């Protein structure tokens, strides 16, 4: 970027980096941003983006060509366009062009209308936003300008409740010290207000005349999508001033509780951080999608093979037989040899047999650019194009499943008025295949409503209440809570049970006073006083709000703050502290500090943070106090409480001045600013004096233990990834039944080096294998085993184990040379808890399991620190809790309580997987049964590419005759009711093992379809060879044969879907029988006089359908064909139900038994005598109950009992499949062929 000539030299002398004078800006590739206030001419030289946004894709002129170009990028549409071109060649096609162009045009039109509608609303939204009015300072006068006309370098005036038009540097405001308050819900989902402030040098520029003369220049980072970071420098009046995110107002925010403010536009339009975050969505694809892509390629290869076989047959037939009929069946002019005839025949059969390729199921979602903050199920779905079977598309079924989730009243939270929401339509069936759940703790398993419970001050613990015998009193046995009536500013909702802490405050205990003084000063809470004495705290985290509220009730009331002061009422006396610095919290520091000067002029640093961080930064003189405080910390953590350590440090004036100077230099640095500041903070936060610790209670959400127990019975492994300390996480693990006293052993990994961690993991594996050997499983541990062998041994160990690992140990365990050892050990355990983990480590753990286990993973969390984990997992679930909705915005599914997860997986997920698998199996079956008839017919028509069916039947088969029944099954079918799905979680296992749709099931469906096609062709062919009409004439003719075969096909596939349907609704009945009725109506209409009169060249065979179906022989043929096609299926299913029932079959059987019992009990009650009660039981009891009881059929089977009941035949093979699957998945490269749905 070249320094403009107009740039004063004083700014260069003020410290502009030399590299800037050598860089040239260009929009999209700029390395830094320069913006000069009130100088549009200067800023226009850099050609920055305007503030006009455009999310629409088309206009009137470009819509048709661009939309068609986009649609024909889809494989499905291109494939059918290719077929259409082939059909337009007379020498090739034996089908009319409309058999392909009708569905193609239909799909293109529907998609174009949808895209046009979506784009119309985008245009409308863009115009609405771009035409908003804003007050812009131009030539010293405030003028109304549209947002689209705002430029970089303009000064804008905002008023209360207005949206911020662009990314602004806050210059001044109506509040003292340049403060202003904003709401960022549209940006990051957080509803609590945040404070921003102008730098002191511009905070006095509230007058328009002063602002008109302001000519400062900002040099800062280029446009990026980091919402929480900004680095820049303001050059003005021969000085430079550091700028941070606290000085910025971002587009999408709303000004609140501030009368007005002025800001300098830094980024506009597409350069704003809001628009930078509106990138393309990364689509997640299910294992069924990936398998489908493979199967479609296989089927296409099969189609080519059939075409080659028939083409060779044509060439041979033309050479051997066809040449004899050249006189009255001559070749076309273009055909000069039998070989060329075979070549043309190949393409003819590709056209005829193309329906064998289910191209409408080839799912390739189109990426769409949407605002991630506003995406919902109501947003325009990114759907694939639909082709040969539009109504039966996978996407239509998925959309239906998504709406079922949205409409589920049992997943609606009445307290928050929040429904469950499926934010994607592409992952529903994957919900039925989850094997690993990765969960956050705070706000996900717990309520994230923090309560100040206990504390340790100067070595003494407060919070417990003891009875007269010295025993700790339980909550129900405690006396009245502490009376805070002495404090008129106390929060009436705050409860504390130990009166000794209040006594220590009243008696003036110095450490206690200093403890609560720290809590009232060291925070970023904002205070609002609506009425006199009624304080409302707005905290960025529930923990911080709980600590400040505790200090408030014990007499240290935080009242107000300015950028440079904090006012606290200490036991009724108002004291104002000068705020010198805030050393803010982040995930790396895990602590925050403030440096204040008290009225006496004494400078002190107050710090609070995680014990693992703060205890290493204490002065050596606090060792004795440290020991007692550590004991209290362990006690609190053992009770599941969240702990923080408090410390302080006195600073002398000279040291502080020198430290503040170095801090200012670091804050002005353009490169590595954050690292330099972290080093400066690290220096001052050392040798601190320990004050004590706090313990905050975060209770479990309702239903968490039951949910975890149920998911565990479904063979889903749950890993908790939390930032809390080990003891807290372990206690929560016991509370939610992840950890139990019945476990064989709980392994704790706390090593600080690679060798220590490896050794601890090795010992854990040895113990698991040794215990299995002692139980008698026959395993022997021989030192080093291969990865696959060791994994199979570990996953078959007897007993239940749990693994707990700390963040520093996890960092070593995730290294490339140890990650497999960690994974093998963890996966052999029933429960895994990772403590003190960072957001990045959460994502790394999920990625590790995805990479090696080839299992479907689900991550669930509620905060911004869970976003990376949610995006990494196959399925991301967001909890709409207390920490905003950032996790929800990044998720695929969202709801308000963890307990709804069991219903999402065991009911909606299992049903979606079942329905999708049944839909796909039936779809392949009916298409092969329909198409392969042409293949067999080819051997009897001289391989001439003549079709069996009427061309209208070919067009309507997938669109009308068979689309709605399979759609109804795919949307509404269920094997067992939802109550049984929750009652018997073992029903979930087939999805985990991919039992319902895999390559084996695919080939079974294909074989059944081919078998049906053979009978469908050869039975009518054999009958028609000798059959006659009632008048003795020959029955066999082409059209009669076509009607017979087509009618047989429609009836057979309709009966088949009736057998496949497990849950009948009125819609199923209407669609199945309605489709049959529509078939016959269209059939008779196409052979009627009316259509012949209107279109004599198209409907020539008048009365053929009526004449054919009037023959008893035809109906007998249809009935015979139907019976022979269906009876083997019925027999096979009957035998399987009798000899080897699935768990779902057994559950349905128990349902029938229960219904029978209820009917018998009702009958028994009706027979009872009403006279004397003597011997009433003997007289009223009915025959048959003794046999029923002895048979055990009337006993309510628990989930485990039912599992064992059925697993005599089914569980054993499920377990063997699971072991086989784990063996193949254990090696990094293994498991490709046998696990088609994994990856």
Mean pLDDT on 1164-1176? 43
393 compared with 131, residue with greater pLDDT: 131
Q: pLDDT at position 217, please?
A: 94
737 compared with 554, residue with greater pLDDT: 554
Alpha-carbon distances of 790 from 583, 764, 795, rounded to whole Å: 49, 13, 9
Return the ∠ at Cα 281 (arms to 280 and 285), rounded to 5°: 135
Asked whether residue 765 carries a pLDDT value surpassing 80, the answer given is yes
Active site annotation includes 440: yes
Return the ∠ at Cα 749 (arms to 748 and 755), rounded to 5°: 150
Q: Give pairs for 1109-1118: CB < 8 Å, separation 24+.
A: 1109/1043, 1109/1047, 1111/1029, 1111/1030, 1111/1035, 1112/1030, 1113/1023, 1113/1027, 1113/1035, 1114/1035, 1114/1040, 1114/1043, 1114/1044, 1117/1019, 1117/1020, 1117/1023, 1117/1024, 1117/1027, 1117/1044, 1117/1048, 1118/1044, 1118/1047, 1118/1048, 1118/1051
Mean pLDDT on 158-180? 90
Mean pLDDT on 482-507? 89
Question: Which has the minimum average pLDDT: 77-81, 341-345, 434-438?
Answer: 77-81
The secondary structure of residue 284, as a DSSP letter, is P
Q: What is the pLDDT of residues 838-864, one digit of tens each?
A: 888 899 999 999 999 889 999 998 877
Q: pLDDT at position 1186, please?
A: 33
Mean pLDDT on 627-635? 91
Asked whether residue 56 carries a pLDDT value surpassing 80, the answer given is yes
Q: pLDDT at position 29, please?
A: 65
Q: Three-state DSSP class for 1053?
A: helix
Instruction: Name, of 486-500, 878-892, 1070-1084, 1197-1211, the range with top average pLDDT.
Output: 1070-1084
Q: What is the pLDDT of residues 1037-1058, one digit of tens each?
A: 888 999 999 999 999 999 999 9
Mean pLDDT on 729-753? 85
Q: pLDDT at position 969, please?
A: 93
Assign 669 a pLDDT band (cuts: 50, 70, 90): confident
Assign 363 a pLDDT band (cuts: 50, 70, 90): very low
Asked whether residue 13 carries a pLDDT value surpassing 70, the answer given is no
Assign 773 a pLDDT band (cuts: 50, 70, 90): low
Distance CA 1193, CA 1150 (A): 7
Mean pLDDT on 142-168? 93
Q: pLDDT at position 578, please?
A: 94
Residue of 167, 440, 698, 1060 marked catalytic: 440
Distance CA 1037, CA 456 (A): 98
Distance CA 754, CA 747 (A): 17
Instruction: Express as a percent the part of the chain with pLDDT over 90.
Output: 38
Please name every residue paired with 570 in a beta bridge, in sequence order, or none if there are none: 556, 573
Q: What is the largest CA-CA distance in the chain?
A: 123
Mean pLDDT on 656-661? 92
Mean pLDDT on 592-615? 91
* Helices 653-668 and 673-684, axial angle in degrees (round to 10): 170
Q: What is the pLDDT of residues 681-704, one digit of tens each?
A: 999 999 999 999 999 887 788 889
Assign 2 a pLDDT band (cuts: 50, 70, 90): very low
Q: pLDDT at position 17, please?
A: 35
Distance CA 279, CA 369 (A): 6
Asked whether residue 218 carries a pLDDT value surpassing 80, the answer given is yes
Alpha-carbon distances of 59 from 54, 71, 112, 614, rounded to whole Å: 12, 17, 13, 60
Distance CA 124, CA 16 (A): 44
Q: Three-state DSSP class for 632?
A: helix
Q: pLDDT at position 387, please?
A: 33
Q: What is the pLDDT of residues 960-980, one digit of tens each?
A: 899 899 999 999 999 888 988
Q: pLDDT at position 82, please?
A: 82
Q: What is the pLDDT of residues 1192-1213, one digit of tens each?
A: 333 333 333 334 434 334 444 4
Question: Which has the minimum average pLDDT: 143-157, 361-375, 467-481?
Answer: 361-375
Q: What is the pTM of this model?
A: 0.75
Distance CA 855, CA 620 (A): 50
Considering only CA atoms, which of 167, 176, 146, 172 is closest in space to residue 157? 172
Helix intervals (H) in 859-958: 867-872, 886-890, 900-903, 910-938, 951-956
Beta-carbon contacts of 347 under 8 Å, excluding residues fewer than 6 positions away, are 86, 89, 92, 307
Q: What is the pLDDT of residues 907-930, one digit of tens each?
A: 999 999 999 999 999 999 999 999
Computed over every residue of the chain, the mean pLDDT equals 81
Assign 791 a pLDDT band (cuts: 50, 70, 90): low
Question: Which has the minimum average pLDDT: 83-97, 232-246, 1059-1073, 1087-1101?
Answer: 83-97
Distance, first Cα to last Cα, the chain: 47
44 compared with 29, residue with greater pLDDT: 44
Distance CA 597, CA 651 (A): 10
Distance CA 514, CA 516 (A): 6
Distance CA 828, CA 798 (A): 10
Beta strands across the sheet bearing 33-36 = 33-36, 217-220, 232-236, 239-243
Asked whether residue 369 carries a pLDDT value surpassing 60, the answer given is no
Asked whether residue 512 carries a pLDDT value surpassing 90, the answer given is yes
Q: pLDDT at position 738, please?
A: 87
Asked whether residue 403 carries a pLDDT value surpassing 80, the answer given is yes
Instruction: Name, of 91-105, 223-237, 525-539, 1012-1026, the range with top average pLDDT.
Output: 1012-1026
Asked whether residue 125 carries a pLDDT value surpassing 70, the answer given is yes
Asked whether residue 380 carries a pLDDT value surpassing 60, the answer given is no
Instruction: Name, of 52-61, 875-884, 1026-1035, the range with top average pLDDT.
Output: 52-61
Asked whether residue 557 carries a pLDDT value surpassing 90, the answer given is yes
Distance CA 199, CA 1114 (A): 92
Please name every residue paired with 643 in a beta bridge, in sequence order, or none if there are none: 695
């Amino acid at each position: 970027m070249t320094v403009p000539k107009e740039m004063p030299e004083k700014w260069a002398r003020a410290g502009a980096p030399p590299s800037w004078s050598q860089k040239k800006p260009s929009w999209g590739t700029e390395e830094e941003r320069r913006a000069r206030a009130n100088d549009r001419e200067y800023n226009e030289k850099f050609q920055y983006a305007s503030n006009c946004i455009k999310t629409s894709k088309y206009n009137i002129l470009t819509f048709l060509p661009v939309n068609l170009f986009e649609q024909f990028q889809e494989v499905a549409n291109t494939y059918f366009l290719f077929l259409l071109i082939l059909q337009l060649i007379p020498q090739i096609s034996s089908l009319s062009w409309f058999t392909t162009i009708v569905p193609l045009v239909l799909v293109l039109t529907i998609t174009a209308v949808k895209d046009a509608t979506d784009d119309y609303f985008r245009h409308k939204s863009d115009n609405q936003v771009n035409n908003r009015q804003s007050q812009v300072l131009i030539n010293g006068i405030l003028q109304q300008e549209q947002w689209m006309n705002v430029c970089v370098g303009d000064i804008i005036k905002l008023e209360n409740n207005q949206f911020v038009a662009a990314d602004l540097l806050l210059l001044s405001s109506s509040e003292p010290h340049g403060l202003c308050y904003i709401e960022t819900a549209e940006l990051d989902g957080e509803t609590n207000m945040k404070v921003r402030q102008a730098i002191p040098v511009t905070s006095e520029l509230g007058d328009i005349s002063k602002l008109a003369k302001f000519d400062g220049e900002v040099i800062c980072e280029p446009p990026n999508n980091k919402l929480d970071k900004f680095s820049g420098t303001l050059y003005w009046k021969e000085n430079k001033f550091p700028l941070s995110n606290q000085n910025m107002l971002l587009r999408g925010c709303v000004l609140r509780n501030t009368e007005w403010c002025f800001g300098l536009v830094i980024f506009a339009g597409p350069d704003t951080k809001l628009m930078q975050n509106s990138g393309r969505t990364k689509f997640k694809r299910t294992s069924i999608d990936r398998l489908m892509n493979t199967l479609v390629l296989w089927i296409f290869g099969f189609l080519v093979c059939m075409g080659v076989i028939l083409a060779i047959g044509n060439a041979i037939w033309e050479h051997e037989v066809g040449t004899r009929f050249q006189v009255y069946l001559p070749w076309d002019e273009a055909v000069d040899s039998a070989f060329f005839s075979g070549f043309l025949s190949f393409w003819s059969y590709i056209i005829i047999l193309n329906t064998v390729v289910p191209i409408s199921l080839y799912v390739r979602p189109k990426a769409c650019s949407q605002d991630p903050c506003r995406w919902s199920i109501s947003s325009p779905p990114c759907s694939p194009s639909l082709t040969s079977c539009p109504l039966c598309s996978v996407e239509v079924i998925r959309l239906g499943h998504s709406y079922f989730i949205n409409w589920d009243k049992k997943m609606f939270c009445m307290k928050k008025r929040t429904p469950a929401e499926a934010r994607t339509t592409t992952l529903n069936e994957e919900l039925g295949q989850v094997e690993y759940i990765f969960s956050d703790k705070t706000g996900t398993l717990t309520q994230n409503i923090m309560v100040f419970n206990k504390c340790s001050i100067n070595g003494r613990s407060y919070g417990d209440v003891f009875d007269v015998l010295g025993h700790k009193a339980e909550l129900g046995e405690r006396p009245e809570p502490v009376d805070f009536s002495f404090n008129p500013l106390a929060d009436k909702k705050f409860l504390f049970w130990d009166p000794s802490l209040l006594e220590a405050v009243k008696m003036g205990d110095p450490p206690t006073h200093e403890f609560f003084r720290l809590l009232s000063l060291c925070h970023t809470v904002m205070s609002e006083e609506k009425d006199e004495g009624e304080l409302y705290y707005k905290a960025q985290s529930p923990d911080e709000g709980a600590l400040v509220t505790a200090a408030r009730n014990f007499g240290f009331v935080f009242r107000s703050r300015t950028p440079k002061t904090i006012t606290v009422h200490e036991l009724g006396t108002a004291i104002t502290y000068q705020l010198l610095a805030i050393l803010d919290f982040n995930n790396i520091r895990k602590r925050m500090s403030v440096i204040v000067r008290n009225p006496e002029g004494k400078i002190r640093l107050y710090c609070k943070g995680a014990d693992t961080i703060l205890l290493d930064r204490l002065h050596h003189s606090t060792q004795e106090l440290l020991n007692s405080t550590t004991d209290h910390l362990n006690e609190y953590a053992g009770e599941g409480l969240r702990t923080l350590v408090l410390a302080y440090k006195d600073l002398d004036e000279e040291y502080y001045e020198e430290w503040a100077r170095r801090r200012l230099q670091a804050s002005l640095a353009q490169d590595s600013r954050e690292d330099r500041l972290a080093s400066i903070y690290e220096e001052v936060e050392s040798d601190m004096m320990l004050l004590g610790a706090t313990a905050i209670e975060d209770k479990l959400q309702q239903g968490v233990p039951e949910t975890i127990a149920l998911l565990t019975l479904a063979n889903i492994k749950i890993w908790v990834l939390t930032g809390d300390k080990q003891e807290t996480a372990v206690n929560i693990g016991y509370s939610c039944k992840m950890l139990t006293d019945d476990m064989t052993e709980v392994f704790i990994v706390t090593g600080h080096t690679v060798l220590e961690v490896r050794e601890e993991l090795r010992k854990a594996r040895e113990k698991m294998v040794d215990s299995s050997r002692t139980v008698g499983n026959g395993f022997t541990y021989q030192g080093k085993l291969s990865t696959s062998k060791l994994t199979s041994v570990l996953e078959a160990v007897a007993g239940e184990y749990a693994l707990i690992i700390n963040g520093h140990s996890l960092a070593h365990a995730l290294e490339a040379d140890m990650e497999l050892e960690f994974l093998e050990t963890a996966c052999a355990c029933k429960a895994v808890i990772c403590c003190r983990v960072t957001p990045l480590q959460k994502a790394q753990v999920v990625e590790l399991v995805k990479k090696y286990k080839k299992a479907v993973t689900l991550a669930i969390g509620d905060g911004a620190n869970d976003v990376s984990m949610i995006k990494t997992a196959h399925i991301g679930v967001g909890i709409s809790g207390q920490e905003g909705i950032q996790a929800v915005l990044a998720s695929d599914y969202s709801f308000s309580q963890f307990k709804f997860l069991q219903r999402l997986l065991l009911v909606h997920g299992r049903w979606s997987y079942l329905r999708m698998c049944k839909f796909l199996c039936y779809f392949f079956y009916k298409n092969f049964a329909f198409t392969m008839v042409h293949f067999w017919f080819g051997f009897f028509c001289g391989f001439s590419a003549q079709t069996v069916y009427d061309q209208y039947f070919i067009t309507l088969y997938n669109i009308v005759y068979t689309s709605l029944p399979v759609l109804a099954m795919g949307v509404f079918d269920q094997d067992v009711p939802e109550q049984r799905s929750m009652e018997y979680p073992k029903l979930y296992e087939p999805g985990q093992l991919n039992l319902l749709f895999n390559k084996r099931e695919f080939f079974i469906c294909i074989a059944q379809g081919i078998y049906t096609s053979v009978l469908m062709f050869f039975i009518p062919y054999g009958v028609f060879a000798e059959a006659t009409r009632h008048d003795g004439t020959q029955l066999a003719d082409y059209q009669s044969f076509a009607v017979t075969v087509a009618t047989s096909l429609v009836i057979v596939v309709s009966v088949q879907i009736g057998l496949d349907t497990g849950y009948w609704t009125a819609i199923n009945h209407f669609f199945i029988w309605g489709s049959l009725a529509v078939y016959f109506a269209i059939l008779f209409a196409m052979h009627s006089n009316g259509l012949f009169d209107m279109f004599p060249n198209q409907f020539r065979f008048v009365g053929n359908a009526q004449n054919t179906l009037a023959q008893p022989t035809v109906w007998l043929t249809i009935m015979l064909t139907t019976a022979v096609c269906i009876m083997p299926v019925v027999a096979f299913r009957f035998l399987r139900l009798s000899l080897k029932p699935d768990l779902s079959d057994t559950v349905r059987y128990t349902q029938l038994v229960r219904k029978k019992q209820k009917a018998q009990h009702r009958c028994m009650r009706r027979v009872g005598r009403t006279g004397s009660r003597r011997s009433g039981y003997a007289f009223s009891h009915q025959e048959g109950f003794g046999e029923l009881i002895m048979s055990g059929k009337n006993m309510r089977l628990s989930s485990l009992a039912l599992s064992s009941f059925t697993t005599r035949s089914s569980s054993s093979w499920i377990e063997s499949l699971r072991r086989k699957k784990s063996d193949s998945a254990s090696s990094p490269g293994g498991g490709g062929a046998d696990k088609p749905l994994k990856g």
